[in-house]
Amino acid sequence: MKKVTISSLQAQKQSAEKIAALTAYDASFAKLFDEQNIDVLLIGDSLGMVLQGQDDTLAVTIDDIAYHTRAVRRGTQRAFVIADLPFMSYATPNQTYSNAAKIMAAGASMVKLEGGQWLCETITGLVQRGVPVCAHMGLTPQSVHVFGGFKVQGRHQEKAEQMVEEAIAVQNAGAQLLVLECVPSSLGKRISEELTIPVIGIGAGKDTDGQILVMHDMFGISANYMPKFSKNYLVETGDLRKAVKKYISDVRSGAFPSTAHSFE
């Protein structure tokens, strides 16, 4: 079983082979997803909402992420493992480097940060110190109070142009992957075409280089609500493994997301 790397993810983009990703928070589910040949597993700060019952992701700590990263790594043999740096854990360069070191030591192969051009210096510093970076743009949940709620981003032309420019900037700073959340499908397509690094969408349309869902949403068991961009694969298949297999198949074939799970 060949291990997924950033190089193989880059090759998937170049060959137009869609990347399938899910969040994971423990060894058992990580193993289940890994056995179905998921490409990427993310230890997301979404754990604050789906595991801890918080209203948002802001209370998640670096120790929370490190704990769940260690668990996921123990259940993973093939998938590429990414872990979030949580809210205010990368406010200064020295703080960022220290917290990224904790996450990498816990078993992550890459760290994810939310933000655009203001992060460029931080991204470059991390890469220079041997820490691969995934940027996260669009709806960035750590900025939910700035946005005034969980809202689609980039609908206006000026904001869309700014997002394209910032996506190029974070790529040039050294980011090797981009998660793009809750933007119009046309903008997801444009950013994916503009960048040479893989773009993984969540509510960003079918034309990104891959898709990611929160596992609880994909199984239809989230405590709060089902986002428009998600799909309950468990109710469709009636079996955890079949649900994961169907999700991966639909991502790779382009069947998911449909227009019903996208924004215009």
Instruction: Establish whether 222 is an annotated binding residue.
Output: no
CA distances to 53, 56, 113, 170, 185 from 177, rounded to whole Å, are 29, 24, 11, 10, 19
Give the predicted TM-score (pTM) of the model.
0.95
CATH code, 160:
3.20.20.60
Residue 34 labelled as part of a binding site: no
Contact of 139 with 112, CB cutoff 8 Å: no
203 contacts 259 by C-beta, under 8 angstroms:
no
pLDDT value of residue 146? 67
- What's the mean per-residue pLDDT of the chain? 94
Locate tokens 């980011």: which residue? 175
The residue range of the domain holding 83 is 6-261
Distance (Å, rounded) from C-alpha 102 to C-alpha 130? 13
Q: Catalytic site residue 181?
A: yes
Query: Is residue 250 a known part of a binding site?
Result: no
| Annotated binding-site residue? 45 | yes
Catalytic residue among 165, 181, 193, 194: 181
Q: Which pLDDT tens digit goes with each residue over 203-249?
A: 999 999 999 999 999 999 986 678 889 999 999 999 999 999 999 99
- The confidence score (pLDDT) of residue 224 equals 67
- Joined together, the tokens standing for residue 229 give 């961009």
Amino acid at site 235: V
Integer distance in angstroms from the first to the last C-alpha of the chain? 39
Mean pLDDT of each 10-residue bin along the chain, 264 residues long? 95 98 98 98 96 92 98 98 97 95 98 95 97 94 66 88 97 98 96 98 97 96 81 96 98 96 91
User: Which amino acid, one-letter code, is at 256?
Assistant: F
Distance CA 175, CA 183 (A): 20
What's the domain count of the chain? 1
Beta strands in the chain, from DSSP E residues, in sequence order: 19-23, 40-43, 80-84, 110-114, 133-138, 177-181, 199-202, 210-213
1 in a structural domain: no
The answer to the question of whether 84 is labelled as a binding residue is yes
